[in-house]
Structure 1
Amino acid sequence: MTNQDQPIDLDKIRQQYDFLPYPESEINLFPTSLEQLYIHSLATPYYLRYQTVVNTHDKIILDAGCGSGMQALALAAANPGAKIIGVDLSERSVELARQRFAYHNIDNAEFHAISLDDIQQLGYKFDLINCDEVLYLLPDPGATLKLFHSVLSSKGIIRSNLHSYHQRVQYYRTQELFQFVGLYNEDSVENALAIVKESLDNLQDSVRIKTFFQHYSNNQLQNTPLPLKDKLMDEWLLTNYLLRGDKGYTIPELFDFLENANLNFLSMVNWRHWNVADLFKNQDNLPLFWEMGLESASEAEKLHLYELFNPVHRLLDFWCVNDNDSPFPTSPISWRGEQWSNCLVSLHPILRRASIKEDLLTCISQRQEFEISQYVKFPSLQPVTIDSTLISCLLPLWEAPQSFTQLVAHWLAIQPLCLDTLEPKTEEQSFWEISQLLIKLETFTYILLELTD
């Protein structure tokens, strides 16, 4: 029996997470990673779909498989005013989630120890469904996506993920080993874990399943204090070598699931890291075979090619939407003067923080470049910087969204002369300079451009 054929026992999965709720983090911790908040913010996928800055007040968000509530807390932090609904099989995990929210005085939330099959009984239509690190554990991911579709609002968005079969194939081989010798039938998770650890201790260092474990232990936990190191190693073994129900999937299978659930693929969450052309030395001079092939390839085919070339992503992490909703976002590269005149410019909500504004003011006073990508790195492959002569024009965005014409006027007031000729700068020159800056930053969703007419 291979990993893909292993039967899924939901009671065993519940038992595993009752034994070790995930994530097992201190209740006083609050999510501060801007990258994590960026992923959990409805503003990110909503803009990609609708080219509109969404107001999250009174939005309803489902955290499907909420565990101990750390991600639900990130959803609350990233979406001010939204109502958070968390569901999980594990009663112990749900109780920890309730305690976590109570500790942080967040009362616009509710948690239920129920199966995902019962979410229709909650009576909500959700604006965002977050199902992180869960879908690959379920018997039928396609059926679960259909269920999510049934409780999705008309402009709702689903974020979920599957384990990549190609990236995790070595772990599935190890899972097959421990399933074959009966550890997956072990009633006590603690006993199964002890047997695995004893086995690894006694295997020669050259044995593959031991080298994978040692790589994690030696590289990622090298300077970790012993009590915490032991705890993290146990968690790693449970979520890789003893993960009950774990299955891996491919890109074609993901797109089949979406099609059968009447959902449309929107984007990979880390979309900048799935560009197959980036795998070649020179994107502008691809071999003719690949240049022609990629020009005609669908989005699904390009993603599949990327993974066959370079299976480095553990998760097929994606956003999807209703298939009957077809807006037509336009690239600002193609905008003309009238469109720019009707454009409202906003900073991504996650970047609108006083600490970042202070960094910007420091760069302005010291005439240094401002690296806007340092706060949320993954939308870009390289540092994204703003020239010291331009960064001051962005400052008003930390107070409120600005019209494009306001930013142009602000820029003219700051720099009324051309630096090379000292002649008065025209409005057309300022228009071009600001539009080029915004086009650059909008590419990475650091700046959001919304047509108001």
Structure 2
Amino acid sequence: MSQEVAKLYNTYPFPPDPLLNEPPPGYNWRWSWVAAYNFCTGRKPQHQDIRILDAGCGTGSSTEYLITLNPEAEVIGIDLSEKALAVAQERCQLSGIAAKDGARFTFKQLRLEEAAQLPGQFELINCVGVLHHLVDPVAGIRALSQKLAPGGIMHIFVYAELGRWEIQLMQRAIALLQGPNKGDYIDGVQVGRKLFASLPENNRIVKREKERWALENQKDACFADMYVHPQETDYNIDTLFALINASGLEFVGFSNPRYWSLERLIGADSELLERAQNLNEHQRYRLIELLDPDISHYEFFLARPPLPKIDWSDDATLANATVEIHPCLEGWPSQHLFNYDYELVYLSEAEYQFLQQCALKSFTVAEIGILSLTQVRSLQNRQLIILTP
């Protein structure tokens, strides 16, 4: 099966992001060590000269961001597809990242399950869109967990079954029509394209494709990855946490926490919320996905203890903390900017003045003044500032 997966990605290297003659635009905060560590612990990491593993790097889009956002780190990208790795290498050469002073990165053809062959451990492991394509995802996550350093964090992205129901149906339909040609991925894309063109416009599978996936699926590589992949495991909350428990690591939290708030769905009814308090954490997560079955994936952080966390509830600790601007803000300096999740934020005049002081040099919260400790906590909770005890 690994050979079949490699064949798919050698036919259609993925992701098919364009190669640029400049560093990648924007950011993904989950790939910034400072931003991700702050999200997981509430504070800035003590050092940034770390080792990062991009497990299943494909054509290197994520690796390029990891290199750009973490200039002091050593980054290693592994993948089973030689064609995808060739694109990844070309990507980093063309963008100029490879020529930067101090840039330390390596690409290696290696199955994720063979990660034990890599020397040393990693403070940050990124594994996006890979585990669900393994024959044995448990073996994969265990292989990665062995390479995670104490106090390190792992960012994972896997598919969710509820939001991919129509995708599963189309996958099976294409496979049936391919018959003995199954495994010919170019033929599979052609069959799938014809099916979508032939089905009635009000067909549920067609409507879902148009609503959610059609824009990215204009590229054959994306269409193939979605509809003719030879190996896929989709999860629900119960099976997801069985996978997490098998890793032996600590579940830190989902990296899109607002989605996992019951108040978002049933906040208008206090009695329902009260009933939900009788559920454990996993049951509440399950209730959320049952009530909002559009979810197509899970993204979350795991950690190898000890991972010390701070909540800044103590006034003296907060007042004496060093403060700086979050590294993943778009549009600064301005009172109107985009936060780490690319959501528009409006800063009050006092908040703006506070952040301006943060940008000048290293101050403590007390030295800057301007805002109350409650207001500072609000900035920290919104991931607009980074604090160091």
Pairwise same-fold verdict (TM > 0.5): yes
Q: In structure 1, how many angstroms separate the alpha carbons of the residues matched to 2:385 and 2:119?
A: 36
TM-score (norm 2): 0.90
For each residue in 1:306-349, what CA deviation from the matched residue of structure 2 results, as whole angstroms up to 9, or x when unmatched? Answer: 11110223211111112x4253422x3x323x223322212212
Alpha-carbon distance change, 32 to 399 in structure 1, aligned in 2, over 3 angstroms: farther
Q: Does 2:48 correspond to 1:57?
A: yes
| The 10-residue stretch of structure 1 (342-351 or 167-176) with the greater mean CA deviation from structure 2 | 342-351
Partner SS, residue 163 of structure 2: coil
Q: In structure 1, how many angstroms separate the alpha carbons of the residues matched to 2:307 and 2:146?
A: 18
Match of 2:296 among 314, 324, 344: 314
Q: In structure 2, how many angstroms separate the alpha carbons of the residues matched to 1:41 and 1:136?
A: 24
Match of 1:146 among 139, 142, 145: 142
Give the corresponding residue for 1:247: 233
Q: Does 2:383 correspond to 1:407?
A: no
Give the corresponding residue for 1:424: none
Match of 1:232 among 210, 215, 218: 218
Q: In structure 2, how many angstroms separate the alpha carbons of the residues matched to 1:148 and 1:122?
A: 10
Alpha-carbon distance change, 124 to 185 in structure 1, aligned in 2, over 3 angstroms: farther
Match of 2:355 among 383, 394, 403: 394
In terms of Rg, which structure is larger?
1
The alpha carbon displacement at 1:55 in A equals 5.4
Matches within 5 A, 1:323-402: 324-325=305-306, 327-330=308-311, 332=312, 334-336=313-315, 338-351=316-329, 356-357=332-333, 359=334, 370-372=335-337, 374-377=338-341, 383-402=344-363
Partner SS, residue 395 of structure 1: helix
Q: Does 2:381 correspond to 1:443?
A: yes
Alpha-carbon distance change, 203 to 66 in structure 1, aligned in 2, over 3 angstroms: same
Partner SS, residue 97 of structure 2: coil
Matches within 5 A, 1:30-109: 30-34=23-27, 36=28, 38-54=29-45, 57-103=48-94, 104-106=96-98, 107-109=103-105
Q: Are the aligned partners of 1:161 and 1:317 in contact in 2 as well (CA < 8 Å)?
A: yes
Partner SS, residue 312 of structure 1: coil
| The 10-residue stretch of structure 1 (197-206 or 138-147) with the greater mean CA deviation from structure 2 | 197-206
Q: Are the aligned partners of 1:183 and 1:192 in contact in 2 as well (CA < 8 Å)?
A: no
Match of 1:129 among 115, 125, 130: 125
The alpha carbon displacement at 1:263 in A equals 1.0
The alpha carbon displacement at 1:278 in A equals 1.1
Q: Does 2:242 correspond to 1:256?
A: yes
Matches within 5 A, 1:157-168: 157-168=153-164
Q: Are the aligned partners of 1:94 and 1:113 in contact in 2 as well (CA < 8 Å)?
A: yes
Q: In structure 2, how many angstroms separate the alpha carbons of the residues matched to 1:287 and 1:436?
A: 27
Q: Which runs of 5+ in 2 are unaligned?
A: none
Alpha-carbon distance change, 204 to 83 in structure 1, aligned in 2, over 3 angstroms: same
For each residue in 1:372-419, what CA deviation from the matched residue of structure 2 results, as whole angstroms up to 9, or x when unmatched? Answer: 4x24346x7xx54322244213212123332112111xx4xxxxxxxx
Matches within 5 A, 1:151-190: 151-182=147-178, 186-190=182-186
Match of 2:200 among 204, 222, 230: 204
Q: Does 2:191 correspond to 1:195?
A: yes
| The 10-residue stretch of structure 1 (87-96 or 185-194) with the greater mean CA deviation from structure 2 | 185-194
Partner SS, residue 349 of structure 1: coil
| The 10-residue stretch of structure 1 (165-174 or 233-242) with the greater mean CA deviation from structure 2 | 233-242
Number of aligned residue pairs: 383
The alpha carbon displacement at 1:129 in A equals 0.6
The alpha carbon displacement at 1:215 in A equals 4.1
Partner SS, residue 30 of structure 1: coil
TM-score (norm 1): 0.78
Alpha-carbon distance change, 197 to 327 in structure 1, aligned in 2, over 3 angstroms: same
Q: Are the aligned partners of 1:49 and 1:327 in contact in 2 as well (CA < 8 Å)?
A: no
The alpha carbon displacement at 1:43 in A equals 1.8
Match of 2:7 among 1, 12, 15: 15
Alpha-carbon distance change, 42 to 213 in structure 1, aligned in 2, over 3 angstroms: same
Alpha-carbon distance change, 391 to 67 in structure 1, aligned in 2, over 3 angstroms: same
| The 10-residue stretch of structure 1 (106-115 or 47-56) with the greater mean CA deviation from structure 2 | 47-56
- Identical-residue share of aligned pairs (%): 21
The alpha carbon displacement at 1:258 in A equals 1.5
Partner SS, residue 383 of structure 2: coil
For each residue in 1:76-114, what CA deviation from the matched residue of structure 2 results, as whole angstroms up to 9, or x when unmatched? Answer: 112121111001110011111112222223241000111
Q: Are the aligned partners of 2:16 and 2:222 in contact in 1 as well (CA < 8 Å)?
A: no
Q: In structure 2, how many angstroms separate the alpha carbons of the residues matched to 1:341 and 1:217?
A: 47
Q: In structure 2, how many angstroms separate the alpha carbons of the residues matched to 1:76 and 1:251?
A: 32
Q: Are the aligned partners of 1:56 and 1:81 in contact in 2 as well (CA < 8 Å)?
A: no
Q: In structure 2, how many angstroms separate the alpha carbons of the residues matched to 1:406 and 1:273?
A: 36
Q: Which runs of 5+ in 1 are unaligned?
A: 1-8, 222-230, 360-369, 412-432
Q: Are the aligned partners of 1:56 and 1:82 in contact in 2 as well (CA < 8 Å)?
A: no
Aligned Cα root-mean-square deviation (Å): 2.4
Q: In structure 1, how many angstroms separate the alpha carbons of the residues matched to 2:340 and 2:239?
A: 30
The alpha carbon displacement at 1:256 in A equals 1.4
Q: Are the aligned partners of 1:178 and 1:184 in contact in 2 as well (CA < 8 Å)?
A: no
Q: In structure 2, how many angstroms separate the alpha carbons of the residues matched to 1:302 and 1:276?
A: 8
Q: Are the aligned partners of 2:181 and 2:187 in contact in 1 as well (CA < 8 Å)?
A: no
The alpha carbon displacement at 1:182 in A equals 3.9
Alpha-carbon distance change, 217 to 292 in structure 1, aligned in 2, over 3 angstroms: closer
Q: In structure 2, how many angstroms separate the alpha carbons of the residues matched to 1:87 and 1:137?
A: 15
Q: In structure 2, how many angstroms separate the alpha carbons of the residues matched to 1:16 and 1:233?
A: 14
Q: Are the aligned partners of 2:262 and 2:273 in contact in 1 as well (CA < 8 Å)?
A: no
